[in-house]
Amino acid sequence: MKKRLILLAALLFLAGSAFAKDVIPAKVFDADVNSFGVYQISERSMTLYAEPDINSAIVKKLSWDEETTDVEGLDLSNLFVLYLPDRNLALLNVVDETEDWVKVIYDEKTTATGWLKKDDPYKFMPWGVFYNIYGRKYGLYQLKGAPESCNSIRVSPDNLAQEVGVLNMPKKIILNVIKGNWALVSVADMDKYPKTGFVRWRGDSGEKYYFPLIKKIVGVN
């Protein structure tokens, strides 16, 4: 009986490992600093070109399904900014854009890029728009490696503005609006009283310090 239970557990583990893992940013540099927005993939395949022209050379053809754990040798975390297969949500870093095309990073490790033809112009979102949509809906969480200064809550979006509070193990960070590199937030934390003010969500070089809490992750309340 014991052997059967061990075998069953092993089979369940192997079956579970066959399904794609979620990709959720955890560290500051997981969201590429050179990108200025994201593009949401509608299908589970894409063709990338050398130039924004379907007659140009094909750089890469990629396809995946909900059981994919990597895409042609590319780790999912190197391909996507955010990937939640159960919600059919896949976001790519965008480093250039035209009216009909986006230039995306398809390998974060090598920063390899290719041009992808848009199937819907509204699927491209500059970072500010993405945060205003998803951050306001789900709230924010702080990425690991964010500087200590990101815990400062200030009265206005300025590094020299008066500090009105400090984040102290926040249970919830509600985003009200994005203004440049600053986010107006309302926070409930271990201090047991609400705080509202501006925190720095993005650095001068484009590095992200916070990310929308689209899905609950370990270590984030």
Q: Per-residue pLDDT tens for 29-84?
A: 666 778 999 999 988 899 999 999 999 999 999 998 877 677 888 888 899 999 99
Interval 104-108 mean pLDDT? 94
Give the residue numbers spanning the domain of 197.
128-212
Last residue of a domain, one of 66, 100, 119: 119
Q: Please tell me whether residue 96 adopts helix, strand or coil conformation.
A: strand
Interval 10-32 mean pLDDT? 62
Residue 219 exposed, middle or buried by CB count within 10 Å (0-12, 13-18, 19+): exposed
CATH number at residue 181: 2.30.30
Q: Count of domains in the chain? A: 2
Task: Provide the β-strand partners of residue 94.
Answer: 37, 104
Do 138 and 208 meet the contact criterion of CB atoms below 8 Å apart?
A: no
Cα R_g (the chain), whole angstroms: 20
Question: Among residues of the chain, what percentage have pLDDT more than 90?
Answer: 63
Per-residue confidence band for 7, with pLDDT thresholds at 50, 70 and 90: very low
CB atoms within 10 A of CB 62: 17
Do 71 and 80 meet the contact criterion of CB atoms below 8 Å apart?
A: no
Instruction: Please enumerate in sequence order all residues whose Cβ is within 8 A of that of 12, keeping only pairs 6 or more positions apart, or say none.
Output: none
